[in-house]
Amino acid sequence: MNDEYAGLTTEGIHQGTRMIDECTTEEMLQLLHREDASVPAAVAAEIPRIGKAVDVLHRVLRQGGRMFYIGAGTSGRIGVLDASECPPTFGTEPWQIQGHIAGGDSALRLAVEGAEDDEEEGIALIERCGVTEKDAVIGISASGSAAFVVAGLKRASELGAATIGVVNNKPSKLERVCDICIAPVVGPEVIMGSTRLKAGTAQKLVLNMLTTCTMVKLGKTYDNLMVDLKASNRKLQDRSLRIIRAATGVDADTAAAMLQRAGTSCKLAIMMIKTGLEAEEAERTLARFEGNLKAAIRAGTKVV
């Protein structure tokens, strides 16, 4: 038995759920819900470090760098999920925010035995991605000891990249190799060692904060409207029209016409309606303000 793993909070035995196999269905659900309800407080305690990470990610992406999630098992899947949601939600390019899991994409569906212990592959992944000092790498590991993640983050640091750890134990191996360590400690799981439960929930909350707040700072929203979304299906097309109407007060027909004139760019359509500028000039103004719609509208309105 490895004493290092035995000492991890995430590997502890929860004294309050020892008899879960004798509970009624409702009693089991109450136990799970009670434990899940404790997760937000653990995340809240890490907000100062999450804030530092957001500022780093904002700087990196604003300067043309990339953001990488690396993880194994549940942690890797959560990273891939968060990264894959950014293009449709915030209009990012697929290369800007990437999620990578130990064992490759097949590990998203089936466990790849030993993948999290592969230090060499963690290093090789960082090198294949061409990570440089312009980028940021976020390593996710509930235990903070997954060799794939620790080695990958260490290599990224050697290459000059900004490094961030998301873990559920203090202290951890991951903490030693990253610039910022976000560590919501949620305690033993309802089922011993099943870190897809509270630890996974905490990780998802943290990643939600990292990307959402970074995107807001990058001007990807107007108020709380996701104006940089890509209308890639009917639902998102309808959402684009509702966002345009909410931001400008125009009727449905006007919103549809302006969205078409803007080449299906929700943000550009709002800019054109708000300023009266034609698409080309509105686009140039947006570019001058790095996509910040509010700032561009103020400037464009003065021109008009």
- 26 noted as active-site residue: no
Alpha-carbon gap, residue 238 to 218, rounded angstroms: 24
Identify the pLDDT of residue 279: 93
Active-site choice (85, 119, 175, 281): 85
Identify the pLDDT of residue 113: 79
Q: How confident is the model at residue 8 (pLDDT cuts 50, 70, 90)?
A: confident
Computed over every residue of the chain, the mean pLDDT equals 94
Contact 97, 123 (CB under 8 A): no
Average pLDDT over residues 244-258: 96
Active-site choice (11, 35, 46, 116): 116
Q: Residue 304 above 60 pLDDT?
A: no
Q: How confident is the model at residue 303 (pLDDT cuts 50, 70, 90)?
A: low
Task: Provide DSSP, 132-178.
Answer: -TT-EEEEEESSS--HHHHHHHHHHHHTT-EEEEEESSSS-TGGGG-
Q: How confident is the model at residue 222 (pLDDT cuts 50, 70, 90)?
A: very high
Of 231 and 182, more confident? 182
Identify the pLDDT of residue 236: 86
Q: Residue 233 above 90 pLDDT?
A: no
**What is the per-residue pLDDT across 115-148, written as a single tens digit (0 to 9) for each?**
999 999 999 999 999 999 999 999 999 999 999 9
- 116 noted as active-site residue: yes
Instruction: Report if pTM > 0.85.
Output: yes
What are the φ/ψ torsions at residue 101 (nearest 5 degrees)? -120, 140
CATH superfamily, domain 6-217, is Glucose-6-phosphate isomerase like protein; domain 1 (3.40.50.10490)
Of 204 and 88, more confident? 204
Q: Residue 99 above 70 pLDDT?
A: yes
* Torsion angle in degrees (nearest 10) through CA of 210, 214, 220, 221: 70
Q: Residue 1 above 60 pLDDT?
A: no
**What is the per-residue pLDDT across 42-92, written as a single tens digit (0 to 9) for each?**
999 999 999 999 999 999 999 999 999 999 999 999 999 999 999 989 999
Contact partners, residue 298, CB within 8 Å, separation at least 6: none
**What is the per-residue pLDDT across 175-188, written as a single tens digit (0 to 9) for each?**
999 999 999 999 99
Domain spans, the chain:
6-217, 234-303
Any idea which fold 234-303 has? Helicase, Ruva Protein; domain 3 (1.10.8)
Q: How confident is the model at residue 300 (pLDDT cuts 50, 70, 90)?
A: confident
Identify the pLDDT of residue 3: 59
Q: Is the peptide bond before 188 cis (omega within 30 degrees of 0)?
A: no
Alpha-carbon gap, residue 155 to 169, rounded angstroms: 22
Q: How confident is the model at residue 230 (pLDDT cuts 50, 70, 90)?
A: confident
Contact 286, 262 (CB under 8 A): no
Identify the pLDDT of residue 6: 66
